[in-house]
Amino acid sequence: MTHLHIFWAFFKVGILGYGGGPSSIPLVHKEVVDHYKWMNNDEFGDVLAIGNTLPGPIATKMAGYIGYQVAGWLGVINAVLATIVPSIIAMIVLLVSLSTFSELNWVNGMTSAIVPVVGVMLGILTWEFFIKAKKDLGWKFSIGLTIGSLFFLELLGFHPAIIIIILLIVAFLTTPKQSTTTEEVKQ
């Protein structure tokens, strides 16, 4: 039963995720956090952070890791295959049979209409992460980190992996303040 759920969750992610791996992030979040409750928002954030720190496609890294968490190595295989196989088959069939597919107007229209919708889903997720950060770290600290990240990532063009690794090291080496420990009781 679990395997059926894993398959169904990532199959949906695979066939609804237009625009490559990153557009599937909000869909994975919807299935894994909201629907099947395999992990909470914090854990999902960790998966996303580590996933962004490591090279390679993001959608399969998320699928594989979540599959592993839920059902071990068989879960990995199930989740990854469910994410990628349907679209690979579609790709092979289309390219072998009809190479003008991507020139069809209605196909381009579909691809185009999905872009702003993915934008909205990513925007909602952004907001959720920001609110969560504010709750745990307080306004000042989270706005500071947000502006800092924005500055280093976008203006100076630092790679996200570098920022994430530096933050992890700083968090590891500094000692927690009292105020943060009271927040953690609710978990």
Q: Footprint of other proteins on residues 97-126 (CB under 8 A)?
A: 99, 101-102, 105-126
Q: Please give the DSSP secondary-structure letter assigned to residue 151.
A: I
Minimum distance, C-beta of residue 53 to other proteins, in the bound complex (Å): 8
Minimum distance, C-beta of residue 36 to other proteins, in the bound complex (Å): 13
Q: Which two tokens stand for residue 10?
A: 């990532």
Which 69-88 positions form the footprint of other proteins (CB under 8 A)? 76, 80, 83-84, 86-88
Nearer to other proteins, 2 or 130 (CB): 130
Minimum distance, C-beta of residue 1 to other proteins, in the bound complex (Å): 21
Q: What is the per-residue binding string for other proteins in 7-46, x denoting contact by CB under 8 A?
A: -----x-xxxxxxxxxxxxxx--x-----------x--xx
179 sits near other proteins (criterion: CB under 8 A): no
Q: Which two tokens stand for residue 6?
A: 């894993």
Task: Kindly tell me which residue out of 170, 178, 182, 185 binds other proteins, with binding defined by CB under 8 A.
Answer: 170
Q: Which residues contact 80 (CB under 8 A, 6 or more apart)?
A: 10, 60, 63, 64, 67
Rounded CA separation 132/177 (Å): 18
Nearer to other proteins, 64 or 78 (CB): 64
Secondary structure (DSSP) of 24-92: GHHHHHIIIIIIS-SS-HHHHHHHHHHHHHS-S-HHHHHHHHHHHHHHHHHHHHHHHHHHHHHHHHHHH
Q: How many residues bind other proteins (CB under 8 A)?
A: 101
